[in-house]
């Protein structure tokens, strides 16, 4: 991604996260970036395309991180631990992308449906790991879809926690809290 496209990407992400998609205009994006509309349209055909690019890049980042980290573990509880830790780190580093994704999850417009599909696709990755863990006897029996949704829900919980704390969060402290309360509850003893 070239410098101008990256600046449009980062500025749009910040504005969408702070003000919301509807309240952010192309004019505001171009004014904040300091480029002409023509330059923005050279890189993106519309505000909707910028939004789609942001969401797709954010989900791709999350999914790639999960794929890389979970492939390093053979134990399914360790795979779940890796997912939880990655989710916390993603919130800390890329809070704006997650805020955008979650803010547009609700509704019936095409944009909302795309966000829903991305979230469901991600949850399905977790669900598959949970189901395999159940089948191997490492994770206690349960509804793998509900468990996967619960694990995904830690993204929301982390975002709320971070906003409530109002400062940097201790990633490992929060991870260990989730490990003690959520992950250990999955162990098939």
Q: With a cut of 50, list the residues of the chain below it in pLDDT.
A: none
What pLDDT shows up at residue 162? 87
What pLDDT shows up at residue 31? 96
Of 127, 124, 129, nearest in space to 78 by CA: 129
What pLDDT shows up at residue 91? 87
Residue with tokens 């519309």: 46
What pLDDT shows up at residue 58? 85
Cβ atoms of 11 and 33 closer than 8 Å: yes
> Looking at beta carbons, which pairs linking 128-136 to residues 24 or more positions away fall under 8 Å?
129/70, 129/76, 129/79, 129/80, 129/83, 130/76, 130/80, 130/186, 132/76, 133/76, 133/77, 133/79, 133/80, 133/186, 134/188, 136/76
Of 89, 88, 112, 92, nearest in space to 100 by CA: 112
What pLDDT shows up at residue 41? 95
What pLDDT shows up at residue 150? 95
What pLDDT shows up at residue 189? 77
What pLDDT shows up at residue 112? 94
Domains and CATH numbers, the chain: 1-45 (1.10.10.60), 48-186 (1.10.357.10)
What pLDDT shows up at residue 166? 80
Cβ atoms of 188 and 140 closer than 8 Å: yes
What pLDDT shows up at residue 34? 95
């Amino acid at each position: 991604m070239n410098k101008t496209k990256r600046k449009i990407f980062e500025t749009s992400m910040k504005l969408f996260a702070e003000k919301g998609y509807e309240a952010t205009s192309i004019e505001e994006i171009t004014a904040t970036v300091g480029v002409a509309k023509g330059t923005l349209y050279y890189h993106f055909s519309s505000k909707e395309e910028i939004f789609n690019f942001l969401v797709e890049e954010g989900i791709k980042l999350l999914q790639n991180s999960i794929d890389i980290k979970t492939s390093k573990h053979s134990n399914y509880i360790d795979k779940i631990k890796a997912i939880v830790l990655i989710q916390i780190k993603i919130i800390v580093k890329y809070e704006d992308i997650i805020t955008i994704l979650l803010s547009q999850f609700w509704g019936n417009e095409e944009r909302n449906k795309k966000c829903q599909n991305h979230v469901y696709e991600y949850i399905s990755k977790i669900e598959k790991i949970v189901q395999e863990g159940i089948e191997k006897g490492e994770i206690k029996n349960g509804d793998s879809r509900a468990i996967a949704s619960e694990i995904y829900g830690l993204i929301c919980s982390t975002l709320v926690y971070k906003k409530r704390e109002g400062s940097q969060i201790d990633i490992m402290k929060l991870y260990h809290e989730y490990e003690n309360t959520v992950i250990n509850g999955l162990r098939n003893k």
